Amino acid sequence: MASIAAAGMLAAGALFGGAGTAQAAPQASETETVAGITFDSFYYGNGRKISAYRSGEFMGDAEWIQDSPTSGGPGDRLCVFDPTKDRHHLSARLKNGRSVTTNGHNVPHRACKGGNLPEDRTYKMRLCVTGSGGTVCSRYYEVTS
């Protein structure tokens, strides 16, 4: 049985890996918990979504959309969504300084900030949840322009 699995992995490597140097692809889905808030990050081709949950309840999310067709592209969009009245707000941030927040808006609210960034560059994105107990943020995840 082990040899069948090994043969399958070799075949998959031959089909998808090819010859030459290996290049790390972004993880499709990653989960972390910080101060009671679970952040789930999902990479999907031209974007990434980070969702926040507390005790299994959805709190909101942040999304990066590379060259967003909905914004009339080209352009890159950073968005954040807060669906509920629970006395917190969300913000999404890129390490380059671009940020967007739901603070001060009635919920549900989705806020976006667009604008083209230099192509084929890697940036770091995170989602933060702010409430009466302070601010809790996800780790930074890679996104591409």
The whole-number average pLDDT for the span 88-108 is 93
Domain segments of the chain as ranges: 30-98+107-144
- How many CB atoms lie under 10 A from the CB of residue 112? 16
Query: Measured at the alpha carbon of residue 94, what is the angle toward residues 93 and 95, in degrees to the nearest 5?
Result: 115
90 versus 118: the higher-pLDDT residue is 90
- Average pLDDT score over residue span 96-122: 90
Residue 136: phi and psi, rounded to 5, are -125, 130
Q: Give me the mean pLDDT over the 32-42 stretch.
A: 93
Residue 22 pLDDT greater than 80, yes or no: no
**Peptide linkage before 83 cis (omega within 30 of 0):** no
pLDDT above 60 (res 9):
no
Q: What is the pLDDT of residue 45?
A: 78
Question: Which 8-state DSSP code applies to residue 1?
Answer: -
| 80 beta partners | 62, 111
Query: Average pLDDT over the chain, rounded to whole?
Result: 80
Lowest mean pLDDT among 12-16, 42-46, 83-87, 118-122: 12-16
Q: Residue 30: is its pLDDT beyond 50?
A: yes
Would you list the DSSP string of 8-74? HHHHHIIIII-SS---PPPPSEEEEEETTEEEEEEE-SSEEEEEEEETTEEEEEEEEETT-GGGTSS
What is the greatest pairwise CA distance in the chain?
59
pLDDT score, position 36: 92
Q: How much is the average pLDDT of 83-102? A: 92
At 6 the pLDDT is: 35
Three-class DSSP category at 103: coil
Residue 141 pLDDT > 80: yes
Burial class (CB in 10 A: 0-12, 13-18, 19+), 68: buried
